[in-house]
Amino acid sequence: MEKKWVSVWGNALSRPVENPERYAKDLTLRYVITPTIDGEKIRLTFSNFEGYEDAVISTVTVAKTEPRFNRDVCKDTIRNVSFDGKRELHLEPGEIRKSDELDFCVSRGEQFSVSFYLKEYTGMGSGVATSGPLSIGYFARGRYSDKISLPVEVSKPTTTFYFLNTIDVLASPENRAIMAFGDSITQQSWPEYLTKRMLRDSIGHITVVRRAIGGSRVLREYTCLESVHYGRRGIDRFQRDLELTEGISEVIVLHGINDLIHPQEGRPFRSLSDLPTASELINGLRVYIRIAREHGLKIRFGTITPFGNWCTYTDEKEQIRRQVNEWIRNNTEADGCADFSEAIADPADKKCVLSIYDRDDGLHPSLAGAEHMAESIPGDWLK
């Protein structure tokens, strides 16, 4: 049977938090990837989509990760990645580039690393921060992209993934990708616990590709320096994130909580007039349905999770959340619902997250909450 390309890892197109330290020089980045399928070739996508100036990546390599010390890679497995036959990758602002195909076997559950080196001053304008048990990255002073070891004295962990956007492998035709799309709750741990669930349960033909940005809203976006890292509004970025995901069969969308919690009195870029009605937010979610259908994909929604102990909670916002969730649970336009709200809500007060599932801010799930969300996804979605 003819093989096909399937994405095994990905991030949304966005930019990192703006800091005074906007540039890097003589820096190696190494990211550790945990695949859930087998593949015989690999292809990398790099993005400067939100960059404000050119970025030059001097060298890129892939290698098997050292199991005992994941800063390092295994000897004799390092392979150089090229772009139109060249080692150096030049990305203009807004540019997205795929690498050349590379013979590199990927095995389910066996970690591999992508390393790249920034020789000259580089504006770090494209990247996404993630978190979870499989968000593993390092940076180091000096050129180590083609070296086995990242010395601990010059390296440090990071979970901000700069420039690297998607990783595809050439795999058997039964393999497919699920895109998890949303905001900080998806940017955090539940997609990684879904990946761990598939590894545990020997589900060897599905990947989870996370496209999520903390602070992202469905209907609005920010241009102010304070919040520009929240990314473009979901109805604008959804199609591009989807089209970068190879072998995709369906999307799980958990989005909308920031449309409710961000608007508040006295915030110049978060005016209370931004608060949508339930109908407006539902119509935004319908845009996702339309785009998914145009691409022949299934689309499933997660219910908006509780935020009763969050600092901007109001009864009006809670009423909108409940109305949107009722539509998510009962509509016939999408292909199903993961009731994340029910999974982590306090049974005694459904507007709040149960304490053991709360990351102590009244909004974001703890690791236990994220794992419970992943376990609550219906098993027939993973067949």
Backbone phi, then psi, for 371, in 5-degree steps? -65, -40
Distance set, CA 299 to CA 259, 263, 333 (Å): 20, 28, 9
**Each residue of 86-112: pLDDT tens digit?**
999 999 999 999 999 999 999 999 999
Rounded to two decimals, the pTM is 0.96
pLDDT at 21: 82
**Each residue of 29-58: pLDDT tens digit?**
999 999 999 999 999 999 999 899 999 999
Q: Mean of the per-residue pLDDT values for the chain?
A: 96
pLDDT at 227: 84
- DSSP states along 206-255: EEEEEEE-TT--SS----STTTGGG-S-HHHHHHHHHHTSTTEEEEEEE-
Tell me how many degrees the CA angle 6-174-294 measures, rounded to the nearest 5. 65
- The list of the chain residues with pLDDT below 70 reads none
**Each residue of 299-330: pLDDT tens digit?**
999 999 999 999 999 999 999 999 999 999 99
* Bridge partner residues of 167 (DSSP): 9, 44
pLDDT at 88: 97
**Each residue of 63-93: pLDDT tens digit?**
999 999 999 999 999 999 999 999 999 999 9
- Taken as a whole, the chain contains a residue count of 383
Number of Cβ within 10 Å of residue 152's Cβ equals: 11
Question: How far is it, in rounded angstroms, from Cα 30 to Cα 114?
Answer: 6
Residue 203: is it exposed, middle or buried by C-beta count within 10 angstroms (0-12/13-18/19+)?
middle
pLDDT at 154: 97
pLDDT at 16: 87
Question: How far is it, in rounded angstroms, from Cα 79 to Cα 203?
Answer: 28
pLDDT at 223: 84
Q: Are 352 and 321 in contact (CB under 8 A)?
A: no
pLDDT at 1: 74
pLDDT at 222: 87
pLDDT at 20: 83
pLDDT at 230: 87
